[in-house]
Structure 1
Amino acid sequence: MTVKPKTPDSSISELVNQLSSQTSRLVRDEMKLATSEFREAAKHAGLGAGLLSVAGLLAILGLGTLVTSAIAGLALVLPLWAAALAIGVLLFVAAGIAGLISKKQLQKTEPLPEQTMASVKQDINEVKEARR
């Protein structure tokens, strides 16, 4: 960014024009920088989300393998159908317990952070008062 030196002959209108153009250029440059930073962050976030999906899929496959192993191990003592039924019931019980715990946790949450909402309302009122 080049800045013209202030000369004694510069009028106020010229100085205001220079300030306006320099401010516009500064805002455009900052927007370009923010855009490039956002693109870089979005690229990393996309890659991270994709790898997290792969990790989740592999974890599900691993869990399926462990369930199959548990059924096969229990089938040494029980008939295969009974072993599969027992493991299935065990998984449903675990899912039910997790569901009940999550329901209790969700009931404890407040819909909106009251203190933050009050603070924002106060800020809005102060800005409205300042404009009057």
Structure 2
Amino acid sequence: MSESSEKTPIRGPFPGIGRTRANPKSRASLGTLVTDIPKLLTKLVRDEVEQGKRELISTGTKYGIAVGLFAAAAFFALTLWAVLVTAAVLGLNTVFAPWLSALIVAGAFLLLVIVLGLAGYVALKRAGSLAPERTIASVKQDVNAVKGLGQYE
């Protein structure tokens, strides 16, 4: 039942029996509408803040994944350093085979570091801007609506 067609019963000696009158909130006066503006603006601001929070959480998750990939690349870079140090030590201790195999392992780690680093870079680019762009656009639209600018249905 829509708010404008709601009827409230007039209380009489017998509950549920009697005439009905229009809901007083269905035709609000100008004063009531003006006094509702602060409540509506407060609700609008709260809704925009909630939308911003949701957008930042979504963007933050993408950045978190990118940072995780960079952390994995950093871990393997440190492992690469350990392998390279081992390769240098083994290279000095032997003539050929042990250090060559250590360099092959180091090359594999280097390849892993490059792949993870590039994956982190791509994930960071896909995450986009840190600014909550949809919320900013929505707030601009709200400001324009208050100013009376723009097309609205």
For the criterion TM > 0.5, the same-fold answer is no
Q: Give the TM-score normalised by structure 2.
A: 0.39
TM-score of the superposed pair, with normalisation by structure 1: 0.45
Higher helix share: 1
**Higher RCO (C-alpha 8 Å, min separation 6):** 2
